Structure 1
Amino acid sequence: MRKKELEKFKKLLQEERKRILQNALRMADRKVTIDSDDVPDIVDLAASDLNLNLNVEIRERERHLLGKIDSALQKIDEGSFGVCEECGERIGTARLEARPVTGLCIKCKEEQEELEKRSGARRGDQEDVRFPIKPIVSDN
């Protein structure tokens, strides 16, 4: 991959990393506990609890994505960005533009999804094993 393309992806990944970290700081500043004295009735309490659970899920997904971003940035530094972790072939530019944190070419990703479908695995379980990360969102 050309240096100019690598720099473009590096900048994109760094900007996304910064956005996620800023969002995490904003969320950390918010009150994350539910005080039943502050909630007028059981419906409001349930809604508050649901909102809290949603925030936790969002934070977990962002943590997962940060790991994938860090992994992609490390690959850029090592010179292995854009190479499929499974088959070693080059990952297409269009795929990288759509999903710069991906570690799989489209063919290997499709094979992985088919295997997951047949085995009943949840989406992303197989690929998560490949990322030695602290990550968030499944690939595609």
Structure 2
Amino acid sequence: MNIEQERKNRLKKMLNQMKEQILKEAREEIKKFQTGEKRQIVEAVMDDADLSVIDLSEDISLKQLSTHRDILKKIEEALRKLEEGTYGICEMCGDEIPEERLKILPFAIYCRDCQEKIEMIEKFESEEG
């Protein structure tokens, strides 16, 4: 097996592990709603302040599920790119994104230098506007 294939296998394994972890967390959140865990809390509510805590808890759970969905989409896109051979290639300059960066930020689409340029431009534009 060549070095490039080994790198691809390592990255694929990392992405699949991350995908499984996100799916597990999402299943646990969904299970809380299905088993009535949230309902049991509602039955113990004493006043309006307790109700707002329940609402906030449900909002947070739904936001977490939404975040999980967004991350899963990014993982699926990264896996697709990995299969077609474009994963880990900066979409701006075309250079290879270091594996260390991909381990920290698996869905990075820019190398560090290009990401910094983009952030500087965004900061400049927000200060102007």
Q: TM-score, length-normalised on structure 1?
A: 0.76
- Tell me the SS of whatever aligns to 2:101: helix
Q: What is the match of residue 111 of structure 2?
A: 105
CA–CA distance in structure 2, aligned partners of residues 43 and 89 of structure 1: 54
Q: What is the match of residue 57 of structure 2?
A: 51
Q: What is the match of residue 68 of structure 1?
A: 74
Percent of paired sites with the same residue: 30
**How many pairs does the alignment contain?**
121
Higher helix share: 2
| Residue deviations 1:35-55 (CA, integer Å, cap 9, x gap) | 996221111111111111111
Of 3, 6, 13, 1:4 maps to: 6
Q: What is the match of residue 115 of structure 1?
A: 121
Rate the CA distance shift 1:7–1:78 in 2: closer, same or farther, 3 A: same
Q: What is the match of residue 83 of structure 1?
A: 89
CA–CA distance in structure 2, aligned partners of residues 113 and 103 of structure 1: 14
Give the letter aligned to residue 96 of structure 1: L
Give 1:115 shift: 2.2
Rate the CA distance shift 1:42–1:72 in 2: closer, same or farther, 3 A: same
CA–CA distance in structure 2, aligned partners of residues 26 and 68 of structure 1: 21
CA–CA distance in structure 1, aligned partners of residues 50 and 12 of structure 2: 44
| Residue deviations 1:62-103 (CA, integer Å, cap 9, x gap) | 111111101110111001111001221111222112112111
Which ranges of structure 1 fall in alignment gaps of 5 or more residues? 121-140
CA contact (8 A) 1:34 1:48 kept: no
CA RMSD of aligned residues (A): 2.3
Between 1 and 2, higher relative CO (CA 8 Å, sep ≥ 6) is seen in: 1
Give 1:11 shift: 0.5
**Runs of 4+ deviating beyond 6 Å:** 32-37
Which ranges of structure 2 fall in alignment gaps of 5 or more residues? none
- Tell me the SS of whatever aligns to 1:90: coil
Q: What is the match of residue 136 of structure 1?
A: none
Q: TM-score, length-normalised on structure 2?
A: 0.82
- Tell me the SS of whatever aligns to 1:88: coil
